[in-house]
Amino acid sequence: PESGPLAGRRVLVTSGPTHEPIDPVRYLANRSSGRQGHAIAAAAAAAGATVTLVSGPVAIPDPPGVRVVAVETAREMLEAVEAALPADLAIFAAAVGDWRPAETRESKIKKDGAAPAPLTLVENPDILATIAGRSAGRPRLVIGFAAETDTVLDNARAKIARKGCDLIVANDVSPAGGVMGGSANTVHLVGRDGSVETWPTLDKDEVGRRLIRHFADLLGS
């Protein structure tokens, strides 16, 4: 739509896991389904924004009205994010792999009876910190996510300073909560001043719509 609280705005969203290849048939990944990030992208488009969704490999449909750029690795995700800028609002909801194998073998590693070769890992670029730390071309509002299993709020407060973002959406992804892959989410909005706003448990689509309304208010008109 040409109207709505984000009409005329450019929005960038990352979503899903990353796949970090070990060899042509194996990879390192995580349990992110992409449902929350995709719901946010759909809500931004419904609010009138021009939306680019940079997504790792997911099993859910593309949200309507959104330009989707499909990537596999964290490094590809960073490249796609750079190419999608500038944006007014950037929301980093992807569960980016922190590490990748130091080398990707060109042929399938064989099980040859000897002890398995150790997997050496190296750190991936931090996409959120890279974009939030920019002086030129930084989106006006940069939102990070924090998926934690322990001391969710303390971790989020530390993260917001370390990453340089404006707000963190924190959630508890302990297995008992069923958030990863599930349809509901309980989020806490953590501000730069350490303030916390906890929302009730809601459907991820509803969380997406409320987050977009909140970010539109923060951006103003």
Binding residues for ligand C5P, rule CB under 6 A, total 14
Counting contacts by CB under 6 A, is residue 127 touching ligand C5P? yes
Residues pairing with 13 in the sheet: 53, 91
Name every residue whose Cβ is closer than 8 Å to that of residue 143 and which is 6 or more positions away in sequence: 89, 90, 91, 92, 165, 166, 167, 168, 169, 211, 215
By C-beta, is 128 or 216 nearer to ligand C5P?
128
Nearest distance, CB of residue 213 and ligand C5P, angstroms: 20
Per-residue mark of binding to ligand C5P, 94-123 (x: CB under 6 A):
x-x---------------------------
Q: 145: annotated binding-site residue?
A: yes
Structure tokens that stand for 111 in this block: 């099980």
Concerning whether 155 is annotated as a catalytic residue, the answer is no
| Secondary structure of residue 125 in the 3-state scheme | coil
| Only segment of 61-69, 109-117, 138-146, 202-210 that touches ligand C5P (CB under 6 A) | 138-146
> Which CB sits closer to ligand C5P, 14 or 185?
14
- Give whichever of 75 and 109 is closer to ligand C5P, judged by the CB atom: 75
167 near ligand C5P (CB under 6 A): no
- 160 near ligand C5P, rule: CB under 6 A: no
Residues 6+ apart with CB under 8 A from 105: 22, 23, 24
The secondary structure of residue 133, as a DSSP letter, is T
Provide CB contacts within 8 A for 132, sequence distance 6+.
138, 142, 144, 163, 164, 165, 166
- Among 213, 217, 166, 219, smallest CA distance to 40 is for 213
Judged by the rule CB under 6 A, the positions of this chain that interact with ligand C5P are 14, 74, 92, 94, 96, 124-128, 144-146, 159
Catalytic residues: 30
